[in-house]
Each structure stands twice: as structure tokens, then as C-alpha cells.
Amino acid sequence: GTLKKNGWNHGILYGSKYVGDALVPGYELFEYGFPVALPVVKDQDKTKVRVELYEIDQACLGRMDRLEYEGVMFNRTKVTALPVNRDHLVDEDIPCEMYIGSTDYFAADRMRRVQPLKTKIVTPGVGTSDGEVYDWKPLRSMSEAKSDRMEKETKNETVRLG
């Protein structure tokens, strides 16, 4: 979340190529002053986190590992991302890595769950299904936080895969 465009730590990605937006199934977001993705216990196929995909070099990966306290606070985990707009992406499903909160460090019952967007997920050749998409963006003020929370609670969204 903080590495996304306009995020506090986006500068770490300087020089990296933005590939596109995608959804990663099987995770939900919690708030700890910053977003923490943790595995979903049930309905893994219906719960997804919205991410931005970048092509990065080893130097950038090292900076990101240090930022995320890889192996302590977060674990860099192999996941499969589903492109939101395939016009900009080559592969149907994209193998990539994502920082997942360490359950040894973060306890879900001590964090606030980010309010998901209730969505219709449209997958070509498969059809439409109900689901939840978790998205996080850094907020600049309390009034912006309140406005954003109210918008997410009332907004319905359709996400098209393909």
C-alpha cells in the first residue's frame, strides 16, 4: 500500500517499470497505521487485494526488503496476480511476489480490518461472481480518512478481469 503511486514509500520504486493493476486472491487487509495483508481463512477465491505490479531490479528489491523488515514483520511470498486491465499485460495470470504480514508479528484480532469494496468480479469465459476487493491508499488528513471510509461503505464496484 505505501509503495503504490502517491504512497509514502513510492520513491523506493524510482526507475522501476509500472506493469499494471491486478488482484491477488486469498488475502485481506488490516490497518496498523499502514496496510498489512494477511491470508484469508475462508472464501479465499472471493477475497482479493488490489495491487500495483512493477518490474524491479535487485537493488530495488533489497531496498524493499529493508523497508518491509522482510523475514521479521513481512514475508516476501510468491503469489499469482490476476490483471485488472489485460490490455496492458501480456500474461493471463502473473506470478509475482508480495509482502505478507508475518503472523508471528501481527495479530489480526489487534488490528482494524480495512473495509472491503463489495464487488461483482467479471472473468472472461467464467462469468460474474460476488466478491470483496481490499484496497488501501495513504490518507493525508482525518477529514479525508472519514470521507474515504464513507465512500467505501457506500460504493459498489465492478472489477473486470480480462
Residue 162: all three cell numbers together: 480480462
Joined grid coordinates for residue 121: 468480479
Task: Tell me how crowded residue 33 is: count the other CB atoms within 10 A of its CB.
Answer: 7
Strand partners, 50: 23
The number of beta carbons lying within 10 Å of the beta carbon of residue 74 is 21
pLDDT, one tens digit per residue, over 81-131 is: 888 765 444 447 888 999 999 988 887 677 777 766 665 555 555 445 556
| Among 9-23, 53-67, 76-90, 127-141, the least confident range | 127-141
Question: Is the pTM of the predicted complex or chain greater than 0.95?
Answer: no
